[in-house]
Amino acid sequence: MHKLPTIDFTNKRNLKPGSTSWLATSIEATRSLEEYGCFIAEFDKVTTELNDTVFKGLQDLFDLPTEVKVQNKSAKPSHGYAGQIPTIPLFESMGFDYSNTPDGVKSFVDVMWPNGNEAFSATVLAYNRLAAELEEIVTRMVFETYGVEKNLDAHWKMVTYLCRVMRYRAPEKNDTNIGLVPHTDKDFITVLHQNGVNGLEVKARDGQWFSVELKPSSHIVILGDEAMAWSNGRKQSRKEFVDEEHPLLFKPFDHLKFLEFCNKPENRALESAIKAYCGV
């Protein structure tokens, strides 16, 4: 029986770069990502009060009329509103880039609430900054564990901190009870947080699916398809990961073009979109 590893990001000793505890936590996180592609992060900087306020604000957001929500548009695939899809009728989602900055949040809020919503803006910005902090810690740990920390600055310059909020409504009569079809994330790292309703399942290497239960203070850190290509398949390429024993598995690719490829109907059910798109 599989159980997703839980890693402690509440102990300050684990978060001091260069310390013995940091190195041990880095190795634990990286090995968990290699084995399962994700892990549970105990991260208490998101307080109970902030957690509750975030989900109250998201309830108000999703209660807006559909004609308002569909104005969440983006030229980037999989970045704007998604919903009212016959094959996944329970699913609805919105998203925006640079979500850990005031300008990024404002660009989204101004569309949803033309007269402004300061409370929602402040809450979402506070949460997204903490989620970005966790993502940056894990990213640094992974880069350092693989000995490629010299590439961190270049990596962070490309990160846009997409915030994607999702809601799954309760099934009605004759509805499927599946919220979303099995898939892999298409980005580098996802930090996922739930509202206390557990529904996430993870597929292990042996093909077994198992459910994940989270406490309110927990987040799930997930490595996406970009990380698989970046690490030359070590996480489930960079030149540092390629040698005689580990030949190149993925060609260089453009992230937005990869998203466009994934967004085509004929490619949505691919078992490994990244391998189909740029695998050698």
Q: Residue 236: what pLDDT?
A: 43
Q: What is the pLDDT of residue 241?
A: 55
Dihedral over Cα of 130, 133, 139, 144: its sign: negative
For residue 124, pLDDT over 90 is answered with yes
Distance CA 245, CA 8 (A): 34
Q: Which two tokens stand for residue 174?
A: 């004759």
pLDDT (0 to 100) of residue 259? 64
Give the CATH number, domain containing residue 199.
Answer: 2.60.120.330
With a pLDDT cut of 70, the percent of the chain lying above it is 81
For residue 16, the enclosing domain spans: 6-238
- Mean pLDDT across the stretch 47-60? 95
**How many angstroms separate the CA atoms of 118 and 132, rounded?**
21
Which tokens is 125 given? 């910005």
The number of domains in the chain is: 1
Which of 218, 230, 140, 146 lies closest to 187 in space, CA to CA?
230
Residue 167 predicted with pLDDT over 80: yes
Does 215 fall in a domain?
yes
**CA 59 remoteness from chain centre:** 20
pLDDT for the residue 101: 97
pLDDT tens track for 138-148? 999 999 998 88
Whether residue 128 contacts residue 105, with contact meaning beta carbons closer than 8 Å, is answered with yes
**266 inside domain:** no
The predicted structure's pLDDT at residue 106: 97
- Residue 277 belongs to a domain: no
Q: d(Cα 157, Cα 154) in Å, to the nearest integer?
A: 5
